[in-house]
Chain A
Amino acid sequence: MRAQASYTSRLAIFTLAISLTGVLSLSLAGVVAWPVFSVLVIVHLIAYRRFYSDDLLPSTLVNTATLIIFCLEVIRIWIGGKEMIIPALRDILVVLVILRLILRKDVRQVYQIIGISFASLLFATILTISLVFLVGLVLMVFIIPVALYYLDGLDFEGDQYSKGVGAFHWLVVGLGITVITCVLFYIIPRPCSTIMGFDLTHDRKTGFSEEINLKSASPVEKDTHIVMRIMWERGDPSKTFYLAGARLEDIAARGFVKRLLPAKGFARGAKAQDKLIIYPTGISAENVFFPFRLVDISPKDVMVQGLNYYWKGAVPPAYELWVSKVYDEDVPGGKSLPKGLRDLGFLGNEEAGAGNTFVKVRRLMAYLKGRCAYSMEVLDIPDDISPIEWFVFRGRRGSCEHFASALAVMLQGAGIPSRVVTGFYVHEYNPSGNYYIVRACDAHAWVEYWDGPPSAGWHTADPTPGASNVYMSKARIIDAIRFRWIRWVIHYSLEDQIHFAGYAGLNAPHAMRYAIHLLPFICAILFGIYVICLFFRRFRMPVYNQVIRAFAKEGIILEKYTTHDRHLLYIEQAWPDLAPHFKSYLRDYLAWRFGEKDIDIRLRTRDFLGTVNSKQ
């Protein structure tokens, strides 16, 4: 009786654990608040201690209440619209969990609890991309099999109170499910790649703007959320670099703007030096971000508008870039400065002084850094003056956009072709995952200027003071794990599967090549282990199986799942000489098996096998 009570108690624990895991999944997805979860934990504990085996309320009443609540939630959706669907579903699930707890937990109820918890897990799955979601899933993987096992055992009087199944067994089962899940997840083909298209990720306010509007600058928040991660896969990685989003060549009243040109398709450029992979995780700007000069890109679903690149469709979860650090495209034809900026142009020409382009640029940068201060405040700029000139001559404080715009105008005044570039300043490297981190607060503006021979090409100049004063996270390992989660689970795609399939060919990277070279050795080792196992298994093989095996070696295949009489009949036909010996052996074997004789059956079997060998 005590064993049976223990069995029931264990079933109760696992049932309530599953119920709680369902609610935990909802909490991990951010659907149920943690205080509510805490209350539900207490409710579960009370249910276990007080009324697991009793009906707190009549089932009819509970079912009626369920129906009423369901109708009320439907009305709520009807009145509140689409926004109410998720809260209504959440409430229905939570109410169902509580109502099932009120009822007596018979087998049917326990199955219902498992079903509700699983539905909660699915609901949570749809609403999250968080890594912590795994906690709920893993708990389910480990708890549900145990509960189902105990439920199944009820038909067999508690399976004699579950003999031979302990914690180690469940550990192996849980790990087995985990390993097979990993394998299946990566080989099950899927139609597409990402959930980004469903707007389930939060688009951060990055501070990146394609065009500069200095007249209505909004306050820039210190948002440290990661918007991109970059892997420098091939080439010579830089410690820091500028990730361009838009190159702004024209000047409008409010600031620099992009040059409006007809869009055209992407054409591969000259030889690339470096290869990078960019994983945008929190930004939905349609600009293609790249450092230096873009040579090639994959996927090629890109259109070109002047010097800028845009995605034709949704931003892919990852894209590969081939870039060249030498930016030697032809310099565009010069344009005269607008009237409102001529004073600043003259100032630039004066301050640049004599010397080569590099020296002039340094002088102007030093001038701006010495004269103006960096500020993230919202500035009150009068309408009668250009915001760039106001910044240099009156305000003398501003953000990177002010500094970059002022330097570009001054360079143009000094006869040096220049433009403003907006994008991100990449400076944070995570050695745990070998990638760069781009945060929302890394949005930046800088200048590109043209220099003639001997170093002909476009060069970068950053006049903003204190650009190196940047945020660096210390939780790098956690971010590396999170990155892998996003990359290899959330964004794992059909393209990746095709890519991996390609490893079977000659394009395998070094690691795969090593693995392929090692494969014969691994196979040889596995085969050796198998042979050793076979050798030892021979001693453990049941005696009658040894006999069947001995006959099989002689070409007489005895059906395994049939009677011994039939075996005897078959041997009488196939090998009449041996039939009397086999009959005698069979008599002894059956007598031993059914307890009529106490004989050394292994010795008897060995004798018989000797007879078989001698009769060949």
Chain B
Amino acid sequence: MSWKRSQELLQSLFRRILPPRGFSLTKIGKVFFCFLVIIIVIAMLTDNNLLFLVLSVMLAFMIVSGIESERNIRYLEMDRLLPLEIFARSPVQICYAVRNTRGSSSRLVISETCPDGQIGFLKASYLPEDISEVFHKSVSFKRRGKVRLEHIKISTTYPYGLFEKSITFEVAADVIVFPKPLPCFDLLGSGDSEDGHGTDKTLDTISHTRTYIPGDSLSSIAWKKQHIGLTTRVMEGGSGRSGIVVVLPGHDIEAKLGKATSIILEFFNKGFEFGLAINEYFSGFDLSRSHKIEILSKLACVENISEPKWRTFDAGASIIYI
């Protein structure tokens, strides 16, 4: 047997005997520990064997507690299921699938932390043997961008509530939190006339205009004129079956990104081809989910906005400047 193999076996054996565990005392455990220390001191001072007997009982109690809690968490398996799209400041559900492959488990607390702080914890009072229980936790990420979820901790005070033992699952995952979609005020623009009244090629006379709301039919947007400004967009030409969002420099980056996100989602939902141009990036046109995810990921990771490199596109596409 090679040295490396022996080392691996030894490590495996060591992990088996002494698996990595977190350990802490609960409030009652601290009282118990104080009692233990007092008894040790008195027993040593008085040489009273019956106090040694009581001390042995307490230590045995701790050992049995440790064995039971280890049995409770030793054979746990854990998986985390993340939603495909996570938007900042919007509730999403993270699923934790937990299973004990040998025996049942009781009184588990599943908790997860990210750099922003603890995401939250779940309590599982009972887990039957070899059955995956799925627990849901609604969470909300504060900011857009990359978030690293590092590990999940399952802790238990089972069986006596004196000590908390925990097992950590190193299930690191990089989550990209997309910008929160913002309603696009003044998206529709003014149409033919400044007050919004006018005539569309395909539609009847427009009676009035109102603020664009995500979910409105794209066919009802007036794509005729182009306004460049902070919050108004001008659409020009095209068949209305593809669009490109161009993000221009400005003060309120988050609002711009939120609106861009909103429009991208809208394009995707309606089945139009869409694209994004921001800074030196241009996504190209596509209508697939992966294309959407790519664009939203780009928006999530933008740090500052400069003058876009790409401003002119094929004549068929509607251009939305933000």
A→B interface (CB under 8 Å): 111, 115, 118, 121-122, 125-126, 128-129, 133, 137, 140-141, 144-145, 148-149, 151-153, 155-157, 159-160, 163-164, 173, 176-182, 184-185, 188, 190-195, 197-198, 489-492, 540, 542, 544-545, 552, 555, 557, 559, 561-564, 566, 593-595
Contact residues in A for B42 (Cβ distance below 8 Å): 122, 126
Interface centre among B39, B67, B77, B160 (most CB of A within 10 A): B160
Chain A neighbourhood of B55, CB < 8 A: 188
A603 smallest CB distance to B (angstroms):
17
A562 to B50, Cβ gap below 8 A?
no
Inter-chain contacts of B168 with A (CB < 8 A):
561
Instruction: Determine if B52 and A163 form an interchain contact, defined as CB atoms under 8 angstroms apart.
Output: no
Chain A residue nearest to B5 (CB atoms) is A555
Q: Give Cα A157 to B125, complex, Å.
A: 8
Q: Are B107 and A126 in contact (CB under 8 A)?
A: no
Q: Does B110 contact A (CB under 8 A)?
A: no
Q: Given the interface contacts A177-B64, A562-B171, does A148 sit within 8 Å of B107 by beta carbon?
A: no
Contact check, A137 vs B46: say whether CB atoms are below 8 A apart. Answer: no
Minimum CB–CB distance from A10 to chain B (whole Å) comes to 15
A85 to B5, CA, bound (A): 66
Q: Contacting A542 at CB < 8 Å: which of B79, B130, B159, B173?
A: B130
Instruction: Say if the beta carbon of B10 comes within 8 Å of chain A.
Output: no
Whether B57 contacts A181 by the Cβ 8 Å rule is yes
Q: Given the complex of chains A and B, what is the CA–CA distance between A181 and B59 in angstroms?
A: 7
With contacts A122-B39, A125-B54, A145-B159 taken as known, whether A195 is within 8 angstroms of B123 at the C-beta atoms is no
Q: Which of B35, B77, B107 contacts A118 (CB 8 A)?
A: B35
Chain A residues near B50 (CB-CB < 8 A): 125-126, 128-129, 133, 195, 489-490
Cα-based distance from A385 to B104 in the complex (angstroms): 90
Indicate whether B23 reaches chain A with its CB closer than 8 angstroms.
no
What are 21 sample pairs from A and B whose C-beta atoms fall under 8 A apart?
Answer: A118-B35, A122-B51, A125-B50, A125-B51, A141-B57, A141-B61, A152-B159, A156-B107, A159-B106, A159-B125, A159-B126, A176-B60, A176-B64, A195-B47, A198-B46, A555-B8, A563-B173, A566-B171, A593-B79, A593-B132, A594-B134
Residue of B12, B67, B126 with most chain A CB atoms under a 10 A cut-off:
B126
Q: Which of B12, B57, B126, B170 is within 8 Å of A160, CB to CB?
A: B126
Q: For B28, what are the chain A residues with a Cβ–Cβ distance below 8 Å?
A: 111, 148
B125 contacts A160, CB within 8 Å?
yes
Q: Does B227 interact with chain A (Cβ within 8 Å)?
A: no
B175 interface residue per 8 A CB criterion: no
**Chain A residues closer than 8 Å to B35, beta-carbon distance:** 115, 118
Q: Which positions in B face A, CB cutoff 8 Å?
A: 5, 8, 12, 28, 31, 35, 39, 42-44, 46-57, 59-61, 63-64, 67-68, 77-80, 97, 99, 101-102, 104, 106-107, 123, 125-126, 130, 132, 134, 157-162, 167-171, 173
By beta carbon, the residue of chain B nearest A486 is B49
A566 smallest CB distance to B (angstroms)? 8
| CA gap between A198 and B97 in the complex, in Å | 61
| Residues on the B chain within 8 Å of A153, using CB | 107, 125
Closest residue of chain B to A121 (Cβ to Cβ) is B54
Q: Assess the A181–B104 pair: CB atoms within 8 A.
A: no
State A561–B55 Cα separation when bound (angstroms): 36
Chain B min CB distance to A576 (Å): 21
Q: Which residue of A lies closest to B171 (CB)?
A: A563
**8 cross-chain pairs, A with B, having the tightest CB-CB distances, nearest first:** A152-B161, A180-B60, A156-B125, A192-B47, A148-B160, A542-B101, A184-B56, A185-B56
Contacts of A191 in B (CB 8 A): 44, 47
Q: Is the CB of B57 within 8 A of A115?
A: no
Closest residue of chain B to A138 (Cβ to Cβ) is B57
Q: Which residues of A contact B52 (CB under 8 A)?
A: 185, 188, 190
The residues of A that contact B171 with a CB separation of less than 8 Å are 561-563, 566
Quick one: given A148-B161, A152-B159, are A490 and B61 in contact (CB under 8 Å)? no
Interfacial chain A residues near B157, Cβ < 8 Å:
152, 155
Residue of B nearest to A141 (CB): B57
Q: Are A593 and B97 in contact (CB under 8 A)?
A: yes
Are the C-beta atoms of B170 and A137 separated by less than 8 Å? no
Nearest-Cβ distance from residue B290 to partner chain A, whole angstroms: 18
Closest to B101 in A: A542
Question: Given A180-B64, A545-B101, A151–B161 Cβ distance below 8 Å?
Answer: yes
- Report Cα–Cα, A157/B48, bound state, in Å: 42
With a cutoff of 8 Å between Cβ atoms, the chain B residues found around residue A489 in the complex are 49-50, 53
| A285 nearest CB across to chain B (Å) | 22
Q: Are A561 and B167 in contact (CB under 8 A)?
A: yes
A184–B28 Cα distance when bound, in Å, is 23
Select the residue from A137, A141, A144, A173 with max chain B CB neighbours within 10 A: A173
- New contact pairs (12) apart from A145-B160, A152-B161, A163-B126, CB-CB < 8 Å: A111-B28, A122-B54, A148-B161, A149-B159, A153-B125, A164-B126, A173-B68, A176-B64, A179-B60, A492-B49, A557-B12, A593-B99
Contacts of A559 in B (CB 8 A): 170
Residues of chain B with a CB closer than 8 A to A491's CB: 49
Cβ–Cβ contact A173 & B64, under 8 A: yes
Contact, CB under 8 Å: A562 / B56: no
Known A152-B157, A173-B64; judge A197-B53 contact (CB<8 A). no
A163 to B97, CA, bound (A): 21
Query: With the chains together, A545 CA to B12 CA distance in Å?
Result: 14
Kindly provide the distance from the CB of B319 to the nearest chain A CB, expressed in whole angstroms.
Answer: 39
A557 touches B8 (CB 8 A): yes
A124's nearest neighbour on chain B, judged by CB, is B50
A181→B53 contact, CB < 8 A? yes
> Nearest B residue to A545 by beta-carbon distance?
B101
**Given known contacts A125-B48, A559-B170, A594-B134, A190 and B56 CB-to-CB distance under 8 angstroms:** no
Chain B residue nearest to A592 in the complex (CB): B132
CB-CB under 8 A from A564, the residues of chain B are 79
Least CB distance from A312 to B in Å reads: 19
Q: Which of A115, A179, A185 contacts B31 (CB 8 A)?
A: A115
Residue in A164, A177, A544, A561 with the greatest tally of chain B CB atoms within 10 Å: A561
Look across to chain B and name the residue whose beta carbon is closest to the beta carbon of A147: B160
User: Shortest Cβ distance from B81 into chain A, in angstroms?
Assistant: 8
Q: Give chain A residues whose Cβ lies under 8 Å from the Cβ of B51.
A: 122, 125-126
Q: Which of B49, B125, B162 contacts A148 (CB 8 A)?
A: B162
